[in-house]
A and B are shown apart, each in its own frame.
Chain A
Amino acid sequence: MHELSICQSMLEIVDRTMAEHPGAKLLRIFLDVGKGSTIEPVLLSEAFDVITTDGPYEETKLVVNEIPLAGRCRSCGSTFEYQEVALGCPKCESVDIEITSGLELAIRELEIDENGAGDPPGGDAE
């Protein structure tokens, strides 16, 4: 269960990005998560909810864009998406395959409300 430490790493990047937009409220975090990245989106969302409770990101939503696992056959040059982890190239059955996508784990963008969604003037509520 490394989704929690992945969330912590993600929030460090989010904190740094949000520091450049003082007073803004973070609405949504858009992620790219490869199917072969060992990250389970459901567990990631659960970990995110736990870790952001009672904080500035309590209402923030995670939006996960799942990227399929895709490969290229070095023998015949064909490219394909794996529905499941497949046994060889679907065209020529060669096993000489390289993974071309599906291992991603990245924050693509943040959606923010620059007006801070009704925070009292003066900011620092804590």
Chain B
Amino acid sequence: MAKVDVGKKILSENDRVAAKNRETFDDAGVLVLNFISSPGSGKTTLLETTLDRLPQDLRVLVIEGDVSTTRDLDRVKAHGATGVQINTGGGCHLSAKMVAEVLPELDVEHADIIFIENVGNLICPSTYDLGEDGKVVLLATTEGDDKPMKYPTIFYESRLAILNKIDLLPYLDYDVEKVQREVEVLNADCELLQVSARSGEGIDDWISWITTRLEEKRS
């Protein structure tokens, strides 16, 4: 009987590919944000609003991850985005390799921002580095105000949390302050923005968050 030292992260191969993706993104000076949330929190609607509200001279690409269909890609294309759909066929998250495989289909060289819409799931995608500049976790007021503590890992890993559907707050028992505090406890570096992708409330803050990150990336 013998012991063999391995000392290797299980996702080291994913991390290696993610590092290559990151190099490609950094060389092109493109800001890459990875959107993670439960199904139905409004990722695609937020993307649509974002595409409409970002300065028109910015070139935006979208990578859509879903188990099946190109529905989300069709929606963002209608708002002027160029993009590509990844169907995971049952897989609950995107991996760095899946992203690497679609990059040749995209004009990354000439892009300013890439939005990756991950498969709707608060758990599995948090473990996979795709080479992005930051993970953005989306919550919706309709999901209930207990989510940060129930799904802590995604908050440890995220650079920004967005609370969507705040236009519905008057009709719901939703404690925004509690969510704010939970996010802060889990990750003091993770800001919480409150928006309504539908009414446009709070979207200015979100757009300026993105453009500030883009300036940082280029400096």
Interfacial residues, chain A to chain B (CB-CB below 8 A): 1-2, 5-6, 9-10, 12-13, 17, 21, 24, 27, 31, 36-39, 74, 85-88, 95-99, 103, 105-114
Contact = CB atoms under 8 A, between A and B. Distances in A.
Centre residue among A17, A85, A110 by max chain B CB count within 10 A: A85
B124 A38 contact: yes
Centre residue among B6, B156, B182 by max chain A CB count within 10 A: B6
Given A95-B184, A97-B188, A108 B7 contact: yes
The 9 A-B residue pairs with the shortest CB-CB distance, nearest first, are: A2-B124, A107-B6, A110-B4, A96-B188, A95-B185, A95-B184, A38-B153, A85-B152, A10-B10
Nearest to A82: B152
Nearest to B91: A5
A88 B6 contact: no
A43 B111 CA distance: 40
B95 interface: yes
B188 A106 contact: no
A interface secondary structure, majority: mixed
B130 to A, nearest CB: 14
A1 B125 CA distance: 11
Contacts of B149: 85
Interface string B57-97: 00000000000000000000000000000000001110100
A106 B127 contact: no
Nearest to A14: B6
A10 B8 CA distance: 9
Nearest to A94: B188
B9 A111 contact: no
A86 B126 CA distance: 20
Contact of A2 (B1, B93, B182): B93
Interface in B1-39: 1-14
A120 B105 CA distance: 50
A98 B126 CA distance: 17
Contacts of B8: 13, 106-107
28 contacts: A2-B92, A2-B124, A5-B91, A5-B93, A6-B127, A9-B10, A10-B10, A13-B10, A17-B4, A17-B6, A21-B4, A36-B153, A37-B127, A39-B127, A74-B188, A85-B152, A95-B184, A95-B185, A97-B185, A99-B156, A106-B8, A106-B9, A106-B10, A107-B8, A109-B4, A109-B7, A110-B3, A112-B1
B186 interface: yes
A9 B185 contact: no
Contacts of B181: 87, 95
Given A38-B126, A113-B1, 10 more contacts: A6-B11, A39-B127, A87-B185, A95-B181, A103-B156, A106-B7, A108-B5, A111-B1, A111-B2, A113-B2
